[in-house]
Amino acid sequence: MTAAATAARAAGALFKIDTAPRALDDGGWRFVLRVATALKAKDEDGKKKKGGGGGAAPPRPFNPFLPPDPRLVVRALPPSHALLLNKFNVADGHVLVVTRAFEAQEAALTEGDAAATWVALTAAPGPGGGLAYFNRGPESGASQPHKHVQVVPLPLMEGGGEGGEGGDARAPFEPSALAAVAGAPPYQVEPVRSLPVRAFAAAMPADPEPRALAGCLARLAAACGVANAADTTTSYNLLLTPRVAMAVPRRAARVGPLGVNAVAFAGSLLVRSEAELAYIEARGPWDVLRDAGVPWEG
């Protein structure tokens, strides 16, 4: 993966977004805030290029995964996926597990998705392994219609344990999720009542069988309100590490000026400007996430 990234960067196909990470404690979690002011300029430049005029027809939706830029392909993940470098990445080692044929992002995760994701997750270069996350549904924060799972190395803040609680390399969400499933057998879904939003977790065995893992992910989706495999409108986020999975139902993709996707519920928020950073600091991360998630009843 490192060699592929080095080659892609040299070829001008891979770009690192400069960020200034900051730690912010809230609700027992140490959130990692990444300020990426260059993204605002990139967005504004993109709007100028897409603006058009003169009654021109809108451009056809672009699918960067079909086909992918060959310079970003790390390897095939048999039988039906590819591992790609994320073209515009915030963290080194950020990769995408993508179906080689088109499948909708709203489609249910399959046994093949589970198997390919676990391979990428356990190959992540971080000392805490990897964090896989999946945005599903219109309010999940998903940005591409082609099914893909994202994987980043742990810890979320480079340089050591600041990215996790207790000075270790876990994601900030893991202690809460692991406490909720303590004593439960692997794959058994349990509510994470310690959080201010609805969340459900399941412990992972050391080497999950793909069918059993896919079944667990389906039960987590069902706990978030997904009625069946044909339900494409219910939104949720999925988080997965080598130790635990957690799913969070969603009711809003944006809160104030912020876009919120799955990695926010893992404990990291990407902000596009100092103004957005000030918004998070004024409210606190969990106050923002309460509006993006679904509160517990009663």
| Domains (range + CATH), the chain | 2-44+65-292 (3.30.428.70)
**Collapsing DSSP states into helix, strand and coil, what is residue 162?**
helix
**Collapsing DSSP states into helix, strand and coil, what is residue 266?**
helix
Q: What is the pLDDT of residue 160?
A: 46
Counts for the chain of helices (H) and strands (E), in that order = 8, 16
Q: CA-to-CA distance for 214 and 222, rounded, in angstroms? A: 12
Task: Identify residue 165 by its one-letter amino acid code.
Answer: E
A 10 A CB-CB count for 174 gives: 25
Q: Quick one: which of 81, 61, 225 has its CA closest to 140?
A: 225
Q: What is the pLDDT of residue 60?
A: 61
Dihedral (CA of 33, 38, 39, 44) sign:
positive
Q: What is the pLDDT of residue 253?
A: 97
Q: What is the pLDDT of residue 55?
A: 52
Please tell me the pTM assigned to this model: 0.90
Q: What is the pLDDT of residue 56?
A: 53
Q: What is the pLDDT of residue 264?
A: 97
* Segments of the chain with pLDDT less than 70: 1, 37-60, 158-167, 298
Q: Quick one: which of 156, 11, 149 has its CA closest to 86?
A: 149
**Helix runs in 11-52, H state only:** 38-50
Q: What is the pLDDT of residue 35?
A: 86
* Cα–Cα distances in angstroms (integers) from residue 150 to residues 72, 143, 197, 204, in the given order: 14, 12, 23, 18
Exposed/middle/buried for 248, CB within 10 Å: 0-12, 13-18, 19+? buried
User: How many residues in the chain?
Assistant: 298
